[in-house]
Amino acid sequence: MIYPDRLQVGDTIGVLAPASPPNMEKLYQAIPLLEKKGLKVKLGNYVSTVYGYLAGTDEERLDDLNTMIADKTIKAIFFARGGYGTGRIADRIDYALLRDNPKIIWGYSDITYLHTAIHKQAELVTFHGPMIESDIAKPDFDSKSFAMLDQLFAPMEIRYTEEISPLHVLVPGTARGQLVGGNLSLLTSTLGTSFEIDTKDKILLIEDIGEAPYRIDSMLNQLRLAGKLSKLAGVAVADFADSSPKASPSLTLEEVFDHYFQKIACPVVTGFKIGHCTPNIAIPLGVEATLDSTSKTLLITPGVQ
């Protein structure tokens, strides 16, 4: 994997919206927080554009992304928000250009499609972290989540333990491998495409929001049928916000996880505060990690050089 260069004080980061349109008032409220980190912020040309449920046409969103990839003064690309739409432009991103101009890519949720595509097409480490308008701009955005930006300024090993959140061992053991994954519904949507997630010998991270247990069951079953759960090194189950059943009777989310993960021969630990939650612990994807059920620890190697 290619590791992007670390940020320096005074560097410029680009902010754009490859999916749904951001609330620009909230976006502008978050920019001073990034500037306090010593960063300059440059907005994409079309970040304020609205095209239905998209932040501009596919051509406009694609142009913003490829332009920022090519711009050598932009050292990192942060995304304003998720929603829907990143997958619509995935097949026209200039991955060769990104490989030649590696830079920090930061976001989550719908950006999961981009993480998976970049890992496959450009072999670049990316970051699963809070977004500008939908997270950092919130009045209650917590200091622990904001502090995770520090990993971009110096190589930092992330040690996730129960000091952050209670963790539950579903299947015991120790796993070592490349950390991949993100939003479960987006991972499922890559199946059958040239951007299909590779899970063999990997530690798979999953999270989601607003999905009832039967929907999570359906997505895990699709991953199972596609062979994505059969040769895993391990599974880190992160936050599944607003996942209560929409109808009764229903299986619980825990029963769904038990059904799919008790059958696989690898360690599985649940409870990580990563995703649509507070705190939202940012982590690099594509790096080596160790999941240890005995110490209830996820140890993640640095994502920058």
Active-site residues, by number, are: 109, 207, 276
Report how far residue 143's alpha carbon sits from residue 296's, in angstroms, rounded to the nearest whole number: 23
Task: Tell me the C-alpha distance between 118 and 172, whole Å.
Answer: 31
How far apart CA 227 and CA 220 sit, in angstroms, is: 11
Among all chains, which residue has been given the structure tokens 């749904």? 20
Q: What distance in Å separates the CA atoms of residue 208 and residue 182, rounded to the nearest whole number?
A: 8
Q: How many other C-beta atoms lie within 10 A of the C-beta of residue 173?
A: 16
Cβ–Cβ under 8 Å, residues 92 and 62: yes
Closest CA to 22 of 140, 162, 132, 178: 132
Sheet holding 283-285, edge to edge: 40-43, 12-16, 74-79, 104-107, 126-128, 283-285
Cα distances (angstroms) measured from residue 101 to each of 73, 80, 143: 11, 21, 31
Helix and strand element counts for the chain (H, E): 8, 14
CA separation, residue 242 to residues 110, 216, 253, 257 (Å): 17, 12, 11, 16
Q: Measured between alpha carbons, how far apart are the two ends of the chain, in Å? A: 12
Residue that has been written with the tokens 């996942």 in this structure? 243
Indicate the helix (H) or strand (E) that contains 49. Answer: none
